Amino acid sequence: MDKTKTLIFVGTEGRYHDHEGNGQYLTTMLNQTDTIEANFSRDYQILADGLDVYNTVLFYTDIGELTPAQETGLLDYISGGGGFFGLHTAAASFRDSDAYHSMLNGFFNGHSPYMDFTVKVTNTEHPITEGLTDFEVTDELYYLKHNPATSQHLMSAYDTTKDQTHVMAFHHTYGDGRVFYFALGHDMVVLENPSFQEVVRRGVLWVGR
Confidence of residue 207 (pLDDT cuts 50, 70, 90): very high
3-state secondary structure the chain: CCCEEEEEEECCCCCCCCHHHHHHHHHHHHHCCCCEEEEEECCCHHHHHCCCCCCEEEEECCECCCCHHHHHHHHHHHHCCCEEEEEHHHHHECCCCHHHHHHHCCEEEEECCCEEEEEEECCCCCCCCCCCCCEEEEECCEEEECCCCCCEEEEEEEECCCCEEEEEEEEEEECCEEEEEECCCCCHHHHCCHHHHHHHHHHHHHHCC
pLDDT digits (tens, 9 = 90+) for 134-181: 999 999 999 999 999 999 999 999 999 999 999 999 999 999 999 999
Q: Which residue has the higher pLDDT, 16 or 151?
A: 151
Q: How confident is the model at residue 24 (pLDDT cuts 50, 70, 90)?
A: very high
Average pLDDT for residues 34-52, to the nearest whole number?
Answer: 97
pLDDT tens across 185-201, in order?
A: 999 999 999 999 999 99
Confidence of residue 14 (pLDDT cuts 50, 70, 90): low
What are the chain's domains?
4-108+168-207 (3.40.50.880)
Question: pTM to 2 decimals?
Answer: 0.97
